[in-house]
Amino acid sequence: MAETPRSTPPPATPGPAPAQSPGAPGFRTIYEKSRAGRCAYSLPRSGVPETPADELFAGVVLRERAARLPEVAEIDLLRHFNELSSRDYGVEKGPYPLGSCTMKYNPKINERVAALPGLRDLHPYEPEDLIQGALELMDTLSLWLAEIAGLSRTTLQPAAGAHGELTGLLLVRAYHEDRGTDPHVVLIPDTAHGTNPASVVMAGYRPVTLPSNARGGIDLEAVRGFVAEHEGDIACLMLTNPNTLGLFEVDVVALAGIVHEAGGLLYYDGANSNAVLGHSRPGDMGFDIVHLNTHKTFSTPHGGGGPGAGPVVVRDILEPYLPTPVLKKTGVHQYTLDYDRPKSIGKVRSFYGNFGVLVRAYAYIRALGADGLREVSDAAVLNATYVMAGIRDLFEVPYDRPVMHEFVVSAEPLREYGVRALDVAKRLLDYGVHPPTTYFPLIVKEALMIEPTETESKDDLDAFVAAVRAVVGEAASAPELLRTAPHTMPVKRLDEVAAARNPVLRQRFADDAPAGRSA
């Protein structure tokens, strides 16, 4: 294992504050750069006579003064956005081992394909016979996802993983209603992603938490107990596999049997599919519904909750309830959109889903093929295992089992130096790497959740390991350095509570109404 990071040596002590940090002298927002009359474009003089807005929109409530948009020259605009982007950290700058989020590199070929004019310029209102190619692309992607999940039908409509969860739970509801049953309970392990219980509540169900066992997995006896306690009331069990500890749920087939026998369905949160592509399929494990996060597994762009795609794949018994419209093949290279679905849960998103994102997922799967996808998971698991081996002696390992694509360690031993997981994460920023996820899953104290992903080279993994080792070394010798980190970032340690309680979300001007009132 290399002892020093491959990249620039880390700072041992806090460096001077960058001149351009928000709040520091020198940083100016785009509004502060604005000068009346400056403009980043010039248009030819219009031949159409100008008409005052109140004449054009007679009777319509018009704003009293023009919107306050910044007025800057083209070069100011360019510098402004370049400056912002250089302050930002993304996977195109360096490793991004944010556990649970799978921040892997998205190959640029996806962007090229999505930008092909025949795909990019489609309008969702174009008539069916003009978009047969797009429908075929969506149908092919649906079939591939069904094959990957080991199930039979796909809806591409949901716009994110969480949206897929809600869609899946509405399918559970429709299924039970159609059978004249009305169960209320959805079982969810205590390691579940927060969106799982939230989606359960949104779908009108009651989440019941299953405690993990000493091996960080589902406890079959506990499940039997809960099933007996809520006899006749189990709508579904939601499971993530591998779970958010990065551990594979080995008792999954027995589990599926217990829940099915109790009349419930099985929902598989497939957000962690990066670990199992081509190796195991939720359908084969007994699951009935799966959502897949295209932005995690199939290299489409991440976005704060979307716009993305969280396709849902189901067993044939749930097909009648899928959202409308449903894609239907009517002949060779011929497709139609079927709206006549009396048992459908209805639409969950406009049109057919986020088409541009689906094209990227299609391009990724097409480029890699089945063997390539399997290699993705092989490398993701290998990389996580390698990094774990490089740092496990520094931390507590709460569940000592072979890990999948991510792993969780506890920074609890560092508390003797007054250092917490958050301090380790912040100090890592000074070493030029993005920190791992902290304090999740909730069942591990001082959790650091690390997901290197398959797209990092051994050099970068070594650099990450060396950075973590250096930071933990500092925890003993100079803990204050960690507690006050980061020192080299444009934004220093934030008061996260104040930021959440008193968010400042817009620039205010001297003559604006006081904060809290609409201006």
> Which one of 293, 297, 354, 438 is in contact with ligand PLP (CB under 6 A)?
293
- With contact defined as beta carbons under 8 Å apart, do 410 and 392 qualify? no
276 touches ligand PLP by CB under 6 A: no
β-partners of residue 427 are: none
Choose the stretch contacting ligand PLP; rule: CB under 6 A; options: 23-31, 45-53, 154-162, 409-417: 154-162
Angle ∠(35,37,38) on CA atoms, nearest 5 = 65
380 touches ligand PLP by CB under 6 A: no
- With contact defined as beta carbons under 8 Å apart, do 432 and 489 qualify? no
Quote the least distance from Cβ 171 to ligand PLP, whole Å. 17
> Which one of 208, 210, 235, 271 is in contact with ligand PLP (CB under 6 A)?
271
Choose the stretch contacting ligand PLP; rule: CB under 6 A; options: 214-222, 302-310, 425-433, 465-473: 302-310
Q: Which of 471, 483, 429, 482 lies closest to 96 in space, CA to CA?
A: 429
β-partners of residue 2 are: none
> Which one of 161, 216, 264, 353 is in contact with ligand PLP (CB under 6 A)?
161
Run of H or E including 417: none
Quote the least distance from Cβ 267 to ligand PLP, whole Å. 11
The C-alpha atoms of residue 67 and residue 312 are separated, in whole angstroms, by 42
Count Cβ atoms within 10 A of the Cβ of residue 71 and give its class: 0-12 exposed, 13-18 middle, 19 or more buried: middle
294 touches ligand PLP by CB under 6 A: no
Q: What are phi and psi of 239, to 5 degrees?
A: -140, 145
Quote the least distance from Cβ 162 to ligand PLP, whole Å. 3
Quote the least distance from Cβ 161 to ligand PLP, whole Å. 2
275 touches ligand PLP by CB under 6 A: no
* Binding residue count for ligand PLP, defined by CB under 6 A: 16
Quote the least distance from Cβ 18 to ligand PLP, whole Å. 31
Site string for ligand PLP, 179-218 (x = CB under 6 A): --------------x-x-----------------------
162 touches ligand PLP by CB under 6 A: yes
406 touches ligand PLP by CB under 6 A: no
The DSSP code sequence of 47-108 is SSPP--HHHHTTTS---SS--------HHHHHHHHHHHHHHS--TTTS---BTTT------H
Quote the least distance from Cβ 127 to ligand PLP, whole Å. 32
Which residues in the 385-404 window bind ligand PLP by CB under 6 A?
A: none
274 touches ligand PLP by CB under 6 A: no
292 touches ligand PLP by CB under 6 A: no
Q: What is the DSSP letter of 218?
A: B
Only one residue has tokens 């003993």, namely 476
Secondary structure (3-state) at 400? coil
Site string for ligand PLP, 71-110 (x = CB under 6 A): -----------------------------xx---------
Choose the stretch contacting ligand PLP; rule: CB under 6 A; options: 173-181, 303-311, 448-456, 484-492: 303-311
437 touches ligand PLP by CB under 6 A: no
Run of H or E including 412: none
Choose the stretch contacting ligand PLP; rule: CB under 6 A; options: 249-257, 304-312, 370-378, 471-479: 304-312
311 touches ligand PLP by CB under 6 A: no
Q: What is the DSSP letter of 11?
A: P
> Which one of 217, 283, 310, 490 is in contact with ligand PLP (CB under 6 A)?
310
Give every CB contact of residue 66 below 8 A, 6+ residues apart in sequence.
none
249 touches ligand PLP by CB under 6 A: no
Give every CB contact of residue 271 below 8 A, 6+ residues apart in sequence.
100, 102, 161, 193, 240, 291, 292, 293, 296, 297
> Which one of 269, 451, 454, 474 is in contact with ligand PLP (CB under 6 A)?
269
The C-alpha atoms of residue 164 and residue 348 are separated, in whole angstroms, by 9
Only one residue has tokens 């590199």, namely 105
**Rg over CA atoms, the chain:** 26
Sign of CA dihedral 472, 478, 480, 484: negative
Secondary structure (3-state) at 366? helix
272 touches ligand PLP by CB under 6 A: yes
Quote the least distance from Cβ 294 to ligand PLP, whole Å. 9
Residues in touch with ligand PLP (CB under 6 A):
100-101, 160-162, 193, 195, 240, 244, 269, 271-272, 293, 305, 308, 310
